[in-house]
Structures are given as C-alpha cells and as structure tokens.
Amino acid sequence: MELNKKIAASLLCLTLLSACKETKKEDTAESNPPATAGYETYLKKEDFAAKVNGKETGLYFIEAKGIKAAFTNYGARVVGLWVPCKDGKMTDVVVGLNSTTAYQNATEHYFGGTIGRVGNRIAKGTFKVEGKEYHVPLNNGENSLHGGIKGFQDVVWNVTQPNKETLVFTYSSPDGEEGYPGKLDVKVTYSVTDNGTLKMEYEATTDKKTPVNLTNHAFFNLNGEGSGTILNHEVVINADGYTPVDAGLIPFGKVEKVAGTPFDFTAPHTIGERIAADNEQLKNGKGYDHNYALNAAGTDTMRHAATVTGDKSGVVMDIYTEEPGLQFYSGNFMQGKNTFKSGGKDDFRTAFCMETQHFPDAVNQSAFAPILLEPGAKYHTVSEYRFSIKK
C-alpha cells in the first residue's frame, strides 16, 4: 500500500510538471503569434534596435479600442496597422518589414514612410524660388521623386510618446539637404482613436522660403498583409477631375474630367475592372499612379477623399484630408523582391497607396496650388484614415 502511494505521488508530480511545461509553451506561443492572430506579429523590438548614421532606431506601438499600429523612427514609418475585419479578427492592413535592416536594404524605399520635403515628383529636379534656381537629385528617371535620394523615409527621427494613443516624430532638415533651401523643422504626429481612426498631423517651419509637400506612403491591403491581389478591392474617389501626366509621370499642368474614362471612381469600381483598358494614361502609369483633384470640402475643412473596401475582409477605409489631392497608386512596380513581416512577398499589385498631397510638380506649375512655405509661416495639414466594417 505504501509503495502504491509513492507511485501515485510520483505520477502526480510528473503530471503537474508536464502541465507547467505545457503552460509555459503556450505562453511563449502567445508572445509571438503569427501575423493573422490578434494584434501581434513576429515583430520584435530587438530587430529594430539599430544605429543609422549614429542615431538609434526602435519599434513603437500605439493603440486604442479596436485599432493598433506599429511604427519605427527610421523614416517615421507605419510598420503595421491592425483593425477588425468582418469575422471579428484583427487584420493587419498595412504591409511592412520586420527590421530596420530590412527597410534599409529593401528595393522599395517608401513602405509606410513619411515623405518629404516634397512628396511626389519635381520635373527634372529643378525649380526656382525668388528667381534662384535649385537642383535636387534625380532618382526617378529624369525627375526627382519623394524628396530625392535621401528623403525623409531614410532618416532617423526623434520620437516621443505622450500617451498610449500617440507618437510624435520630429526632424530638422538642414539648409541644403538634398539641394533644398532653408532649414526645415518638421513635426509629424500619428494617433489612433476609439472610433477606428489613424490620424496623421503634419507641421513644419523654415528659415528660408522652400517647397514643402508632406505625406505618408503606407501600402495597404485591406484583406491583410500577404493576402494576395488588391485588384478586387472596391474604390470610390470623390474627385471629378485628375491631372494627366506624360511618360515620366509629370502632370501637363491641367485638370481633366474623369467622366467617361477608366479614372472615374465617383461610383464604385474595383481596382482591376478597367486597369488593363487601352488608355494612354494607364500606359504611362503602368496602371493607376495618378493624382486626383479632390472635390471641395463641405462645411468641414476635411474633404472626404476616398472609400476603399476589402473584398474578402469587409474592411472599409474612408480617407479624409485637408489636402487638395490624392495620389492613387495600384502597386504597379511591386516585383516580389521584398519579404513582408508576415513572411509573404511584395508581389505585383498586392498593395495599393492613397497618398494625400498637393499636386505633383506644383513648385513648377502655376495652375496648381502653391507649396512654397515662407519663413514665419507654419505648414499644417491633417489627414485621417477611418476604418469600419462593411454592413
């Protein structure tokens, strides 16, 4: 009998030890679940703990009820954005990479980055300010794109986190950086709210007259990062006009009506419905890569720029902005050369962009709203990406 009691006690201990080991295993799995599970991904803070040009980079999170976002101060980038989809699961709708090094080595420079000094293109990298001609680097054929070779997406920003819903990034761009005149002090505040909104607030001041056109270059897939094509996403863009471009994607300086063209998204259409149409503008952009002249705002200062719906997830993204333009890019140059944080590849048209902005080449186009910032003046603009579920 005594022997049986000892055996029973030994078995109980083994059972408890096994249970403890199983619990520990489950806890470890929960700390690093796959990208499709809840809010989290394989993102690790230590993978973003690096030094770039002597400045430290890191990984930061903000969250509110039903929304969470990850950022790095390398480029003040959105690394991931989790919102609920129709089955109640949290879906990562912004593609990103899993380390500072991955962003540095990526063939796509702009994933989630804050773009400046001047978003979009400047023809031949040349413009004049008060009669003086300036030249900025050519990094897109014969034109300059998104601030030049070393735009704001490739610098390390200072970062503070005043609360769990907010991150504040600041950067001081010295006079002459990438050929631009004046010292430009930039502040970008990213915040999330309980109603499922990601808010982007941009501010800047300068000591010399200089062009400024800030935006964010998040690549979206509303079905989830790595879920495949975005061609079946449904799009509405509240714009009766767009700015047609030449083969180098420089606008001709005029706004044309979208009516009767594949650029008309005033009623819902999928991205892929007309993308292969025999249309010169689509050929120039190799798909959609065009600026829309947004319809005027109502009583509010914010324009309702666009609505995009994920065909599988039911995630709806409404874009509101104080900017006059919206660049719609359908992922035409994605080539599967980069690996997303979830393990998928950035294959052709597996993400799209909706960049709020002033018009491309506005610094050279007198018909477009100006983008020159004066000393003593303050650049300030707000854009919001509001998420819901299709009813």
Catalogue the active-site residues: 217, 355
Q: How far apart are CA 64 and CA 387, in angstroms?
A: 13
* Residue 19 neighbours by CB distance under 10 Å: 10
Strand partners, 94: 220
Q: b/e per residue, 29-66, with b = 16+ CB within 10 A?
A: eeeeeebeeeebbebeeebbebebeeeebbbbbbebeb
Query: Given CA atoms 268, 271, 276, 279 in this order, what sign does their dihedral have?
Result: positive
Residue burial 171-200, b: 16+ Cβ < 10 Å; e: rest: bebeeebbbbbbbbebbbbbbbeeebbbbb
**51: three-class secondary structure by DSSP:** strand
Cα 245 to its chain centre, rounded Å, is: 23
Output the six-digit token pair for 58: 């890191």
CA angle (213 as vertex; 234, 120 as ends), nearest 5: 55
For CA atoms 118, 332, 192, 319, the dihedral sign is positive
Q: Are 201 and 189 in contact (CB under 8 A)?
A: yes
Sequence-distant (≥ 6) Cβ neighbours of residue 131 within 8 angstroms: none
Dig out the tokens for 108 from the structure: 């796509």
